[in-house]
Amino acid sequence: MVQTWHIGVDDTDSQNGMCTTYLATLIVDFLLKFPVKFLDFPKLIRLNPNIPYKTRGNGAVAITFSTTEEIDEKIWKGIVEIVEKNAEIKDPKTDPGLVFLQGEVPSGFHKLYHQALYRVVSLETVKQLLKKQPTEKHFYLKKGRGLIGAAAAVGATLVNDYTYEFIAYRDPNQKKSERLIDPTSVINADKNVPLTFNNYDYENKQIMITPHGPDPVFCGIRGESCNAVIRMWELIKIFEPIISTMIFRTNQHTQVHFPKIFLGHEISPYLSVTVKGIVEKKPRDHPGGHVIFTIRSENSLIDCAAYEPTKQFRKIIRELIEEDEVLVFGGVRPASEKNPITINLEEIQITKLTPIKQRITPKCPICRASLTSSGRNQGLKCKKCSYISTKKEFSYKQISRKIRTGVRYVIPVCAQRHLTKPVSRIVPLQFHLSPEIDIQQAFYAFLERRILFTTNTKNKK
Ligand SMILES: [Zn+2]
């Protein structure tokens, strides 16, 4: 009998190394030794980026495969061993979790995924959910907070919008922050493979595919199709050994962490929110380069911040004036001693612009000089030719605003989070809904070519 299995893994990395995607790659390599059939690419699932105990990009991985054999202890033990051996458990913030589930994914897991995208989910809730599954096995180390992401990743559905990421890995013992890559080749490849995105930040002149931490990720290439990300990898020039590669299907850059519009009183710390409001206090520049304004949503006043790293985005924010109607997207920061609860902006849309009117001083009908007021409750006079008008009538002209309605103003690529949808992702949804590829077939096609992507063969000169 064919059995389907789902594996979820999360929270194995730290500031000092590892990456849950690399650990998932080791699990895929391990499973390839057994008579299993992968049903999909491994899925890289990003969850609420505002979770306080997550220091890096809150990402979990799910792997789905089928097998005709009873899953034996060898597979289960082997995967547990990979987690034990590779997770950065010395880090006090790393609490690995591993979930193993057979059969159709119960609706409780899908619900958990949707909650974990924008809220804080308790470990207790997840433990309760796991308890209810007769076919479930799980494993964790330390506090096991990773079970939250692991179970949520198993419940993730990538049906409408999704993207791909091609990740190339270097030796995990390699801890230096520098990645040896030819920047010009990245820019050229970016221009040649339009179905990839966020390769390079043209505004801030930064390569975006290479991280800067001590982790095993050499680079990650993001795109709309697996062929596009592979093509991009083939075009870039690199100068250090690559030990392995993997392609993930992912919810990155799909904006799924903003599922609904919140009202002012519903906002609480660490949520990812969309709020409709009216600008109550115009933008103020704060020390450190941060720009903050206040919106009113129902009876609540909420500060919204474009912090210094959002660079050019702050120019847009400074154009806001009182009474503008806006839709803000961002993560909620709790109140501190100095500051009230604040939305850390990722995007803003202006739904209604307040007109700015400027008074036009009438001209003297005789000499064309500008007329001036003769005083309160009196008419106008011309200082040049002494013409006097008893009427005081001004006309107004509307000043055009530099910002527009109907535009998504998004923070620049260099400041974006994994789930932020870049403006450049204008590929229509149909692209993903069309039978462009059989996903399972595409994954096996990748596995077949995979050996070609390690450095021994890439860029051989
Ligand atoms: Zn005059």
pLDDT-wise least confident of 50-64, 112-126, 245-259: 50-64
Q: How far is the CA of 367 from the centre of ligand 1 (A)?
A: 4
Amino acid at residue number 128: Q
The mean pLDDT of 418-447, rounded to a whole number, is 78
62 and 132 share a domain?
yes
176 compared with 255, residue with greater pLDDT: 255
* pLDDT per residue as tens digits for the range 169-209: 999 888 888 999 999 999 999 999 989 999 999 999 999 99
Predicted confidence (pLDDT) at residue 3 exceeds the cutoff of 60: yes
Q: Say if residue 73 is in the same domain as residue 122.
A: yes
pLDDT confidence bin for 160, thresholds 50/70/90:
confident
Q: Which of 154, 171, 190 is the last residue of a domain?
A: 154
In a domain, 66, yes or no: yes
Q: Do 186 and 125 fall within a single domain?
A: no
**Centroid of ligand 1 to alpha carbon of 394 (angstroms):** 17
- Average pLDDT score, the chain: 91
User: Does residue 395 belong to any structural domain of this protein?
Assistant: no
Packing angle between helix 123-131 and helix 146-154, nearest 10 degrees? 50
Q: pLDDT tens digits for 63-92?
A: 999 988 777 788 889 999 999 998 888 888
Domain that holds residue 73: 3-154
Distance 358 CA to ligand 1 centre (A): 23
Residues 190 and 334 in one domain: no
CA of 370 to the centre of ligand 1 (A): 8
Same-domain status, 313 and 407: yes
Residues 73 and 266: their CA atoms lie apart, in Å, by 47
Given 154, 180, 201, which residue is the final one in a domain? 154
Of 119-133, 224-238, 261-275, 383-397, the poorest mean pLDDT is in 383-397
Determine the pLDDT at residue 247.
98
Q: Is 93 inside a domain boundary? A: yes
pLDDT band for 58, please (50, 70, 90 cuts).
Answer: confident
Q: Are residues 15 and 150 in the same domain?
A: yes
For residue 57, the domain's CATH number is: 3.30.70.2200
Statement to judge: residues 11 and 142 lie in one domain? yes
Q: Is residue 389 part of a domain?
A: no
Q: Which residues pair with 372 in a beta bridge?
A: 381
Whether the predicted pLDDT of 17 surpasses 90: no
Q: How far is the CA of 376 from the centre of ligand 1 (A)?
A: 20
Please give the residue that has the higher pLDDT: either 204 or 429. 204
Are 234 and 134 within one domain? no
Report the domain count for the chain: 3
pLDDT of the residue at 198: 95
Residue 368 CA to ligand 1 center (angstroms) comes to 6
CA of 399 to the centre of ligand 1 (A): 27
List the single range of 19-33, 278-292, 422-436 with lowest mean pLDDT.
422-436
Quote the ligand 1 centre to 238 CA distance (angstroms): 74
Helix axes 73-86, 20-31, angle to 10 degrees: 150
How far does the centroid of ligand 1 lie from the alpha carbon of residue 384, in Å? 5
Q: What percent of the chain stands above pLDDT 90? A: 72
Query: 143, 298 in Cβ contact below 8 A?
Result: no
Q: What's the CA-to-centroid distance between 357 and ligand 1, angstroms? A: 26
Query: What average pLDDT does the segment 129-137 reach?
Result: 88
Ligand 1 centre and the CA of 379: distance in Å? 14
Ligand 1 centroid–CA 389 distance in Å is 11
- What CATH number is given to the structural domain containing 322? 2.40.50.1010
Tell how far the Cα of 347 is from the centroid of ligand 1, in angstroms: 52
Please check the confidence at residue 255 and state whether its pLDDT lies above 80: yes
The whole-number average pLDDT for the span 243-258 is 96
CA of 371 to the centre of ligand 1 (A): 8
The reply to whether 207 and 245 lie within a common domain is yes
Flag the least confident range among 125-134, 280-289, 317-326.
125-134
* Angle in degrees, CA 41, 42, 46, rounded to 5: 120
Mean pLDDT of 25-38: 95
Q: What is the pLDDT of residue 373?
A: 85
Cα 383 to ligand 1 centre (Å): 7
- For position 172, what pLDDT does the model report? 87
Q: Determine the average pLDDT of the residues in 410-422.
A: 94
User: What's the CATH number where 230 sits?
Assistant: 3.90.600.20
Q: Is the pLDDT of residue 285 over 70?
A: yes
pLDDT recorded at residue 461: 40
Distance of CA 360 from the midpoint of ligand 1 (Å): 17
d(CA 304, CA 440) in angstroms, rounded, equals 43
How far apart are the CA of 374 and the centre of ligand 1, in A? 14
Gap from CA of 392 to ligand 1 centroid (Å): 15
CA of 137 to the centre of ligand 1 (A): 91
Cα 362 to ligand 1 centroid, rounded to whole Å: 11
Amino acid at 437: I
Which candidate, 44, 175, 169, 156, places its Cα nearest to that of 111? 156
Q: Would residue 317 count as lying in a domain?
A: yes
**From the CB of residue 177, how many other CB atoms can be counted at a distance below 10 Å?**
10
Q: How far is the CA of 397 from the centre of ligand 1 (A)?
A: 23
Q: What is the mean pLDDT of residues 331-347?
A: 96
Q: Tell me: do 58 and 122 sit in the same domain.
A: yes
Same domain, yes or no, for 96 and 124? yes
Confidence of residue 460 (pLDDT cuts 50, 70, 90): very low
164 Cα to the center of ligand 1, angstroms: 71
Note the pLDDT of residue 456: 60
Instruction: Tell me the CA–centroid distance for residue 388 and ligand 1, in Å.
Output: 9
CA of 295 to the centre of ligand 1 (A): 47
Q: Is residue 275 part of a domain?
A: yes
Please check whether residue 365 lies inside any domain of the structure: no
Q: Please identify every residue whose CB atom is under 5 Å from ligand 1, which is an ion.
A: 364, 366-367, 369, 382, 384-385, 387
Q: Which one of 154, 177, 203 terminates a domain?
A: 154
How many C-beta atoms surround the C-beta of residue 306 within 10 A?
A: 28
Q: Are residues 190 and 270 in the same domain?
A: no
Q: Please give the C-alpha separations between residue 182 and each of 98, 115, 132, 239, 413, in angstroms, as whole numbers.
A: 37, 41, 52, 8, 20
Report, as an integer, the average pLDDT of 4-24.
89
Considering the domain boundaries, does residue 280 fall inside one?
A: yes
Calculate mean pLDDT across residues 286-292. Answer: 96
Cα–Cα distance for residue pair 370/394, rounded to 1 Å: 12
253: confidence class by pLDDT, cuts 50, 70, 90: very high
Q: For residue 411, what are its two tokens?
A: 């923070």
Residue 94 has pLDDT above 90, yes or no: no
Residue 380 Cα to ligand 1 midpoint, Å, equals 11
